[in-house]
């Protein structure tokens, strides 16, 4: 299945990615946020530090904040970002 990924703020800067299209193997499913983080962390040290390290990371699926165990479906827009600091 295909998903669209977005990264924001410190993650975007450190990973040097703002967006990407990703193909997830159906055979390895079902996919959750935690499983996706684990997959992306294999790309290298900075990925592991940013997604599975000490820094807090929040995730959204289709513009809704979700927890690590949230399920990802085909066509979803998934985003990773640090805790928010607006206002």
Partner 1 sequence: MTVRVQTEDFDAGFEIDQLRRARRDVGAVVSFIGQVRDINEGDEVSQLTLEHYPGMTEKSLDAIISQAKTRWNIMDVLIIHRVGTLQPCDQIVLVAVSGGHRGEAFAACAFVMDYLKTEAPFWKKELTQSGERWVEAKTSDDEARERWDKTQEKTPK
Where does this chain bind partner 1 (CB under 8 A)? 6, 8-10, 56, 60, 63, 65, 79, 81-87
CB–CB of 58/69 below 8 Å? no
Give 20 or 26: the residue with its C-beta nearer to partner 1.
20
Q: Which residue has the tokens 């979803």?
A: 76
CB of 27 to partner 1, least distance (A): 30
Nearest distance, CB of residue 68 and partner 1, angstroms? 18
Closest CB to partner 1 among residues 16, 56: 56
């Amino acid at each position: 299945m295909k998903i669209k990924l977005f990264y924001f703020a410190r993650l975007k800067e450190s990973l040097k990615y703002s967006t990407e299209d990703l193909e997830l193997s159906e055979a390895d499913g079902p996919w959750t946020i935690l499983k996706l983080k684990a997959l992306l962390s294999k790309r290298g040290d900075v990925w592991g530090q940013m997604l599975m390290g000490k820094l807090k990371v929040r995730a959204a699926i289709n513009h809704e904040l979700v927890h690590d165990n949230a399920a990802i479906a085909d066509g979803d827009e998934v985003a990773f970002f640090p805790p928010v600091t607006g206002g």
